[in-house]
Amino acid sequence: MFWRVEDVSDVVIPRIWRDFPAGFVRNRWHLNPPVLDTLDFVPRTTGQIFYDFRIGITNLAIVVSGNITQMATGDSVTVSIYPRALPNNVIFSQNITTTGEFSVSWTPPKRFEWVVRVRANFNQSQTPIVITSFKIKRGIVEVSGGTPTPVEVSHVFVG
């Protein structure tokens, strides 16, 4: 089965939309003006809805952050990272079960092409999960005077 994977870079992704039997995920490209860094995961039934972002070839830190402003009790968001073309081979995963700001950081063990999957897990079919200020960052470490300092090399605004 083929899943579309969105490339990420310094360029803002203008339209995110993916439909599943359990519901759909989108950014708010349809509003005037568009709100491109907000993800809406809208359920039709219980189940999972996800969106994949290709990070590119790196062994540098990958940081996924945002603010979950709406989520029903019992629902969750999972951020997973896997090698490109191997979605069943998740190398890193973190589950978020509460609303509020979050930041998930992971440094790959080797240089490879990685994919970040953001997945909404629904135990109900009424309340959407909303993530605002969503970003993916890929960074490097700069050594200055013997002290490692993180340097951000790219922002990925999903919208």
Q: Which residue has the tokens 């860094």?
A: 37
Q: Which CATH class is domain 6-157?
A: mainly beta
pLDDT of the chain, 159 residues: tens digit per residue: 334 444 454 455 667 888 999 999 998 888 888 888 899 999 999 999 999 888 888 888 898 999 999 999 999 999 999 998 888 899 999 999 999 999 999 999 998 989 999 999 999 999 999 999 998 887 655 444 555 554 444 444 343
Question: Using one digit for the tens of pLDDT, what is the confidence trace for 47-71?
Answer: 999 998 888 888 888 989 999 999 9
Q: How many residues does the chain have?
A: 159
DSSP string, 103-159: EEEE--SS-EEEEEEEEEEESSSSPPEEEEEEEEEEEEEEEETTEEEEEEEEEEE--
Q: Cα 28 from chain centroid?
A: 15
Cα–Cα distance measured from residue 137 to residue 156, given in angstroms and rounded to the nearest whole number: 6
